[in-house]
Amino acid sequence: MLNPIPESVKKIWDDWNIRGVILFSLSLQAVLVLFAPLRKATGNKLIISVIWSAYLLADWAANFGVGLITERARDTPTAEYSSNHRPAENNELLAFWATFFMLHLGGPDTITAFALEDNELWLRHLFGFIFQAVAAVYIFLTSLPGNKLFFPTVLVFIAGMIKYFERIRALYLASMEKFRDSALRGEVEHLQRFHSLQQNGNVVRKTQGDYLEVGCRYFKLFKLILVDLISSFESLNYEEPLFDDFSPEKALGIIEVELNLVYEVLHTKIQVTHSVLGIILRFVCFCSVVAALSVFHFQVEKHGFNQFDVCVTYTLFLGAIALDIIAFFMLVFSNWTFVALRNDDDKSRLGLFKNRIAAILSWFIILNRPRWHSQSGGKYEVLATPFLFRKWSGSVSGSSWMRYWLKGSPSRVPKVKSGLHLACRKVIHYLGIDRLIPCMAIATNKVIQFLHIYKIIALFDRSDIVYEIRIETSLNKVYT
């Protein structure tokens, strides 16, 4: 019987499958670290699709890679040369790569769950963690004795175990039952503290404060609303400033802070990394990877290793360190860090030190604050945050009969126009092209209807363009 897969293709697959998968897995980690924060900042379907695809493929690639290495370790004896003529040193390197897959399975700090339902699957991830750890240990044992990469493998394995533990714990804390328990526990502690202050006559409601700090403190109350424990703030005693104490801009800023905190608690590792245990584990994880790189570079004799595989290993090391550094800076400049450092005690040295660091961070966090943008030649202003620093999408979907009959999806109105967009509008008006837009709208609408490409346009989040074209076409038909 004729073999449908040529032997040359099989050979290429056998030689490059693990290398390709591990580099693909590293690329997916980079995509998630850099682009996952944009999920809360935009409703663009194309960006969301990229993040969703990377989120699903990241686990698949890591699991598939561990499976390939396990199969290779089972089929290849630990001799100087295997039956496939692969040096034993390269088999040791493959066993070393299995620990990097464990590191990737831990996922980045920027996303642990794409949807709320993913948090309820923390037990599944726990079982997956156990099986993947057993597989990594099995692969490592098959490379013994005489494994030159013994210490680097152990160090990266420790880092991978920590990363995976952080992800499982973040999913567990964000699960609905645990989230509800933590909200209720926080409210009980608040009531106990409030009654204690009330008995001592020390209850003084604050009438001013930074909206970022107030927003983070209000988060304990917003958690109660999210889990349906309360319906409003009216029944609660709270000494923080009320919304009426702030200007409209700062009141909207508080709401923006709340939305950002809700997203980070439910979809990222922020609850784990911002604890004392999380900081210690992150320090141990980073030091383990750096120590493994140092041992691999300075003490491991690389004679006998495939040079390309050595380059791939260095790429994995540098990628892991770079992604950890990026995650560290994201953590430092987050709202959580600012509020944790903010201290009302200005008398102690520790309080003064924390307040000084918080003041420095405030200069960077100010980039996240919404600003007024003039639109339509100064006819009105829009309060918006720059795209890269948004804490939420900046829009709420609504229903419109006109959009319903014209089959147009809701869009963000008004949209903040960039300087390039306004410059193009001026050029179009100066050249007189705007006079041709009605005719072009009619022709474009007919082409869109003929080709049935509404779904493709909606995928790129440009359905508002189709809506405007249809409106323009409808008006021209009425007037003609």
Strand-pairing partners, residue 371, are 384
Task: List CB contacts of 250: < 8 A, sequence separation 6 or more.
Answer: 211
Over 80: is that where the pLDDT of 261 sits? yes
Q: What confidence tier does 97 reach under pLDDT thresholds 50, 70, 90?
A: very high
CA 258 to chain CA centroid, Å, is: 17
Of 252-266, 297-311, 364-378, the one with minimum mean pLDDT is: 364-378
CA distance 31 to 477: 47
Tokens read off for 330: 């994201």
pLDDT value for 83: 41
pLDDT value for 13: 82
CA distance 143 to 151: 13
Report phi then psi at 252, rounded to 5. -65, -35
Over 80: is that where the pLDDT of 360 sits? no
Q: What confidence tier does 333 reach under pLDDT thresholds 50, 70, 90?
A: confident
Torsion, Cα 83 85 86 89, to 10 degrees, reads 90
Mean pLDDT of all residues belonging to the chain:
76
Looking at residues 381-395, what average pLDDT do you find? 72
pLDDT value for 443: 65
Over 90: is that where the pLDDT of 146 sits? no
Least Cα distance to 118 among 64, 38, 166, 172 occurs for: 172
Looking at residues 302-306, what average pLDDT do you find? 81
Looking at residues 274-294, what average pLDDT do you find? 91
Q: What confidence tier does 470 reach under pLDDT thresholds 50, 70, 90?
A: low
Looking at residues 131-135, what average pLDDT do you find? 91
| Burial letters 399-429, b for 16+ CB under 10 A, else e | eeeebeebebebbbeeebbeeeeeeeeeeee
Higher pLDDT, 477 or 394: 394
Over 90: is that where the pLDDT of 320 sits? yes
| Residue 366: Cβ within 10 Å count | 11
DSSP 398: -
Looking at residues 185-205, what average pLDDT do you find? 63
* CB of 257 closer than 8 Å to CB of 373: no
Angle at 317 between CA 312 and CA 319, to 5 degrees: 90
Higher pLDDT, 247 or 478: 247
Over 80: is that where the pLDDT of 148 sits? yes
Looking at residues 2-27, what average pLDDT do you find? 85
pLDDT value for 12: 84
Of 16-25, 154-163, 191-200, the one with minimum mean pLDDT is: 191-200
Q: What confidence tier does 81 reach under pLDDT thresholds 50, 70, 90?
A: very low
- Asked if the peptide bond before residue 77 counts as cis, ω within 30 degrees of 0, the response is no
Looking at residues 123-133, what average pLDDT do you find? 92
CA distance 286 to 321: 7
pLDDT in tens, 340-357: 776 655 667 777 777 777
CA distance 455 to 469: 16
User: To which H or E segment does residue 189 belong?
Assistant: helix 176-200
What stretches of 107-175 show up as alpha helix (H) in DSSP? 116-119, 122-142, 150-174
CA distance 470 to 447: 12
Over the Cα atoms of the chain, what is R_g? 28
pLDDT value for 56: 93
pLDDT value for 343: 62
Of 141-145, 235-239, 259-263, the one with minimum mean pLDDT is: 235-239
pLDDT value for 143: 82
Least Cα distance to 125 among 196, 44, 63 occurs for: 63
Report phi then psi at 154, rounded to 5. -65, -40
pLDDT value for 15: 80
